[in-house]
Amino acid sequence: MTMKNTRKRWKSATVAIHAGTDRHGVNAAVGLPISRTSNFTFVDTEEMKRWAEGKSKAYIYTRYGNPTLSVVEEKLAELEGGEAAIVTASGMAAISSTLLAHLSAGDEVIASTQLYGGTYRLMRDTFPRLGIVVRHVTPDLAGIELLVTPRTRVLYVESPTNPVLRLVDLDKAAKFARRHGLVAMADNTFATPLLQRPLEFGFHAVLHSATKYLGGHSDIIAGAAVGSGELIGKVREMIIELGGSMDPGAGFLLDRGIKSLGVRVARHSENAMKVARFLEKHPRVARVHYPGLKSHPDHALARRQMKAFGGMMAFDVKGGLAPARRFCDRVRVFLLAASLGGVESLVVLPAFSSHYNMSEAELRTAGVTAGTVRVSVGLEDAEDLIEDLRQALA
Which positions are catalytic? 63, 116, 187, 212
Query: Residue 361 is which amino acid?
Result: A
Cβ atoms 117, 230 nearer than 8 A: no
Cβ atoms 288, 280 nearer than 8 A: yes
Beta bridge partners of 87: 224
Would you say the C-alpha torsion 55, 64, 122, 268 has a positive or negative sign?
positive
Residues 265 and 195: their CA atoms lie apart, in Å, by: 8
Sheet containing strand 205-208, strands side by side:
84-88, 223-227, 205-208, 183-187, 152-158, 108-112, 133-137
Rg (CA), the chain: 21
Burial of 213 (0-12, 13-18, 19+ CB in 10 A): buried
Closest CA to 169 of 207, 198, 135: 198
